[in-house]
Each structure stands twice: as structure tokens, then as C-alpha cells.
Structure 1
Amino acid sequence: MSDTVSFGYEDVAPEEKTRRVGAVFSNVASRYDLMNDAMSGGLHRLWKDRFVRRVKPQAGETILDMAGGTGDIAFRLAKSGAAVTVADINPEMLAVGVERAAERGIDNLVWTEANAEKLQFPDRFFDGYTIAFGIRNVTDIPAALREAHRVLKRGGRFFCLEFSTTVWPGFAQVYDAYSHHLVPKLGKLLADDEDSYRYLIESIRRFPDMPSFERMIGEAGFIRTRAEPVLGGLVAIHSGWKI
């Protein structure tokens, strides 16, 4: 990893990014749904449904949902009967997820604090690994991808849902104006936190484009990698398999 990494439009030391990203998510944990609604116009709910359909969870499988603290993906996965472990580096996000699970009467999830770059799970442990809107906030993304590969069984699958770069003419400019100018103001209005929302938008702009991130997944050891664009690439579902 290089001496500096991106934190929004800034370049900072790796340990500084880890600290500052942690602060962002501690700040927004209790308003996570508001944050996602502000950033996606509410469409994140449909994207997550589509994402889980691509994962195709099965009863009896073990799935690690990384950076899944508030449970949005895990609740959807668990409907299949899969054994889902929800992992997140941020305890405030996990606390929100545990509370939401209790409200829904969901008691079959495992919740654990974990760093995507250095997981505590043994080799070849899970059938599936999912991460939704979390990979761009990881300090050392290649390390996290290697860890995902390590903890998957042979034949296991990796799925990642993340904002990307739309290639639809005209739409990119409209969304760019919306995200840069309106989302931070919504953050101020809804959560009294303009800076956290500004970082989250800037982090999207610094994230690798679809071909670049697909290449990174392959470099981590996955085969049959794929990037499925949504809304022309505004969001992408990335996948790969371990053999």
C-alpha cells in the first residue's frame, strides 16, 4: 500500500483514513437509511434487492456479509435460510443492526466486529462473501479482496455492490450536480452533518471505475470476474469465484 490513500478528495496517511472513516460512520450510524436515501434518491432499496438475487443465497450455506453493520443485506440474505455472519469494523453500525434485527424478530444472525483487511475467520470457511457500499471505505482495498478470497471455500463466490461511474450521456452530469451540491445540504438538513455526507460523495468519485475494480478482484485470485452495471454504471454489481 502507498504512503497515502484517498479520503474523499484528500490524500492522507492510511491510519488517518481508517480513523476518519470510522468517525464518519459513527456519526451517521443512527441515520443510515436517511444517508442512503439521500445519496440514491431511495433507489438503494431496489439495488440491494437485485444484488441479493444475484448472490442466490441457499439454505444451509454460510455467508459473510462484510461492512454490513446495519443489517440491510443480511436481512435479505437470511430469508433464504443461509447462515449469515454480519461483520463490521464500526461498533456503532453493528449496534444499529442488532437493534433493527430485534425489532424485526430476526434472531438467527451472527454479529461480529471485524476489519475487512485482516479477518479473524479461518481459511476456506464461507460459501459466500458479500459487501455492499463498503469496499470504497476500506483503507487497503487489495488487502480486503485478498482476505475475502482467503476465507471463501473452493467454489465460493464474492459479490460486491458499489457506486461506480455511469456512462449514460447526460445522466452523469445530472447525478454529479445532484450529489455534489444537494446531498451535503440534505446531510446538513436531515442529520446536521454536512461533512460526512460530502466525504461519502467524494469517496465515490475516487473509487476505481468498473474495469479497474474488476481487474483488482482478479488480481486477488478470483476467476470469472464480472461487473454488472446498473443505471449505466452509477452502481455496479461485481462478482468473482474462488477455485
Structure 2
Amino acid sequence: MTDKTVSFGYQDVAPQEKTRRVGEVFASVAKRYDIMNDLMSAGMHRVWKDDFVRALKPQPNERILDMAGGTGDIAFRIEKSGASVTVADINPEMLAVGMERAARKDVTSMVWREENAEVLSFPDRSFDAYTIAFGIRNVTDIPAALKEAHRVLGFGGRFFCLEFSTTKWPGFGEAYDLYSEKIVPRIGKAIANDSESYRYLIESIRRFPKMPDFARMIEAAGFKNVKYRPILGGAVAIHTGWKI
């Protein structure tokens, strides 16, 4: 028994309670997840993801694990390079959406796996790269997930994370906060009939560590040459590290 708590949006809850609630959130929003991303970011998430995969520089025949990649947005971009992509997600509803998209696109090369980022079933040194986009903040035990990322990467493997953060642009940050707090839950209600799940998604961004703090967490997991590149003044950031 432990009295440790973790953040679920603005609430502090027991770890197993966060895992359960996050599962419910993504089960609820899975079928509308991609259209909601378009509406919430005015389509900018597509640009960020393109930038993210360009920075990754996937190569033919590389083994790449896309964690929390359920709907396949990152994986489909990587697959075009000829890399071997495994899409992993803890949420079966999100994976189902991704597999349906793959069937429509007639993409048969990708592997789809239900996995917990904190306790992966893959052997040591299974992959050349590990990607996670807008997923790490939803993990209950982030340090454990980072250590697992390090474990399943081979020597020379690279860790790439795309995640929301805190913008430092004067004025923009305040406007973004107002939009996120007041407008996004209303969009969630109108499009997905679920304002509370989107309220959580916004609150989870506010509770996520600042860019330098998250970089230190990546280093603590064993990664070297850890860097981060802010986008929109830090509203979004690409974090990278190497297993060397």
C-alpha cells in the first residue's frame, strides 16, 4: 500500500486511479480523436507531426516503436520511409481506430500491439528508434516509461518525443490558455459529446513538466545528448535523446 499520488488533470489521484481514468478518456474520444485534433489545433498538429518525423529521419528497414500511437498518425508517416513500424498503445479502442485506418489505406506492413508504456513486453534492444507523440503526459509513471524506452532501444538508438509544453511568447500564452480552458471543452461537447475528457486533456498539459525539467527526466532514464526544440515558443516541443 502506498500514499503516493499522481496528477490527473488538476486532481491528484492514486496511480491506479489515473490509469483507469485515462483509459476511460481515450475509450471515449477514440473515434473522434483525429477530427478533434484538427479542430483544437486548427490543423497545426499535422504540421508538427510532419516536422517531428522529418527530424526523426526514419530509414528503410529500421525497427521503430511508436508508443501511444493508437490511431497511427505518426506511424503512417514513418511507414512511407520503408521502416518497420510497431504501433503500441495501452488503449484497444485507439488501436482499433488505427487498424481501421490502415485497412482503408491498404497498409499491411505495420504491427499493432496493446502495450503498457511502463512495462513493455519487447526484449531488450528490440528497436532502433522509439517515438511517442502527445502521449507521454498521459502515462501514470513517466520515469518508468522512459526507462522502458531506454531498455528496448539498441545502442545508438534514438528517443523522440513530441509533447505539449508551456509557451514563453508574451500574449500568445495567455490567449492560448484562455482558448484551451474555455473553448476546447465546448468543442469536445459539440463534436464528441464529451467535454470532460477534453477538459482533462487540457489540464494534463498544464501539469506536465516544463521543457528543462522533462529533459532532466529523460537524462535520468539513461539517455545522452538530450535536447529539446520548442515550437510556437514552447507550446509544443520535440524532445530527443540517444542511447549510447
Using the size of structure 2 for normalisation, the TM-score is 0.98
Runs (4+) off by over 2 Å? none
Kindly tell me the number of residue pairs found equivalent between the two proteins.
243
Change (3 A) 1:68 1:171: same
| Shift in alpha-carbon separation, 1:2–1:207, aligned structure 2, 3 A | farther
SS in 1 for 2:238: strand
Map of 1:177 onto structure 2: 178
Contact 1:64 1:85 in 2 (8 A): yes
Offset, 1:77: 0.3
Measured in 2, the distance between the counterparts of 1:103 and 1:70 equals 13
1:66-81 matched pairs, under 5 angstroms: 66-81=67-82
What amino acid does structure 2 have at the position aligned with 1:235? V
Deviations 1:83-109 (CA, angstroms, capped at 9, x unpaired): 000000000000000000111111100
How far did residue 202 of structure 1 move? 0.2
- In the alignment, the residues of structure 1 paired with residue 210 and residue 39 of structure 2 have an alpha-carbon distance, to the nearest angstrom, of 22
Equivalent-residue separation in structure 1 for 2:124 and 2:38 (angstroms): 36
1:14 corresponds to: 15
Q: Secondary structure of the equivalent of 2:241?
A: strand
Q: Deviations over 1:88-135 (max 9, x none)?
A: 000000000000011111110000000000000000110000000000
Aligned to 2:39: 38
Structure 1 letter corresponding to 2:17:
E
Alpha-carbon contact 1:4-1:14 (below 8 Å) kept: yes
Secondary structure at the aligned position of 1:167 is classed as coil
Residue deviations 1:140-182 (CA, integer Å, cap 9, x gap): 0000000000000000000000000000011000100000000
Counterpart amino acid of residue 223 in structure 1? K
Aligned to 2:220: 219
Q: Which residue of 1 aligns with 2:54?
A: 53
The residue type paired with residue 114 of structure 1 is E
Task: Point out the more displaced range, 2-11 or 221-230.
Answer: 2-11
TM-score by length of 1: 0.99
SS at match of 2:82: coil
1:27 matched to 2:28? The reply is: yes
Report the alpha carbon displacement of residue 2 of structure 1 after superposing the two structures with TM: 6.9
3-state SS of paired residue (1:128): strand
RMSD: 0.9
Alignment check: 8 A CA contact 1:35 1:197 kept: no
Q: Distance in 2 between matches of 1:218 and 1:204?
A: 21
Alignment gaps of 5+ in structure 2 = none
Which string of whole-angstrom CA distances, capped at 9 and with x for unpartnered residues, describes residues 43-79 of structure 1? 0000000000011000010000000010000000000
> Does the residue aligned with 1:58 lie in a helix, a strand or coil?
coil
Shift of 1:198: 0.2
Letter in 2 for 1:141: I
